[in-house]
Amino acid sequence: MTDANDARGVWAVVTFCGLAAAAIVRAEDAKPGPLRQSFSDVQAGALPKGWQAGATNSKGEPATWAVAADDKAPSPPNVLSVKKAKAESLKVFNLAWTKETAFKDGTVSVRVRANAGEIDQGGGPVWRVRDANNYYIARYNPLEKNFRLYYVKDGVRKQLADAKDIDIPAGTWFTVKVTHKGDAIACELDGKKLLEATDAALPEAGGVGVWTKADAATSFDDFEAVPE
């Protein structure tokens, strides 16, 4: 009897360990699904479920992020907007992001409209977001008429690529799309690939979201992140 009981015990342990190992393998092999947000099903005045707002290098009053009604949105009736922040410095970056999907490689795109801003305008998507001080960003600025790719690490921003003399007036919707695979990054503005870079500053998967700088008041719509 003792031998039989021991055998059954060993079999139970082996079976359990095998199931646990299989579960671990499945979890490791699982890939995050795409995240698509038109903000149309979100109550005005709120953030989408699972999203949070934050700021880099902020010492004053943070910007206010909220879904708002907009009958001119690409996908009406709502957009996600940041109201004009009382930013005392160009080093203050405002972002709203979510960790609902773990994004490392794949594509991120969003429609953007620069509404106002005296010292800065526009914005774009962020990805591989660890927190409000660590992420990649691609943005267009109507005031400067340039399209740029950066990373922010430990609150310090570094430029990776720059495209100049691009005239998209404030109040006009434009689309930013990013493809990131390994260390290779390519960025499109309204369907034209204008930026490319290779970088390994932030190699791990992170969240995704949107970004503005200083006093820029900006609206976002049709956000999509498709991890590979």
Q: What is the pLDDT of residues 23-47, one digit of tens each?
A: 333 333 335 689 999 999 999 999 9
- Distance separating alpha carbons of residues 23 and 201, to the nearest angstrom: 32
pLDDT on residue 86: 67
% of the chain residues with pLDDT over 90:
77
Determine the Cα angle at 186 with ends 155 and 217, to 5°.
50
Name residues whose C-beta falls within 8 Å of residue 215's C-beta, 6 or more positions apart in sequence.
84, 85, 86, 87, 117, 118, 119, 120
pLDDT on residue 87: 61
Token pair for 36: 């698509």
Give the chain's mean pLDDT: 87
Q: Residue 67 pLDDT more than 50? A: yes
Token pair for 102: 């773990």
Q: Look at phi and psi of residue 222 and say left if phi exceeds 0, alpha if psi is from -120 to 50, else beta.
A: left
Mean pLDDT (whole number) for 120-133: 97
Task: Give Rg (Cα) of the chain.
Answer: 22
Q: What is the CATH number of domain 33-227?
A: 2.60.120.560
pTM, full prediction: 0.85
Q: Which residue has the higher pLDDT, 18 or 116?
A: 116
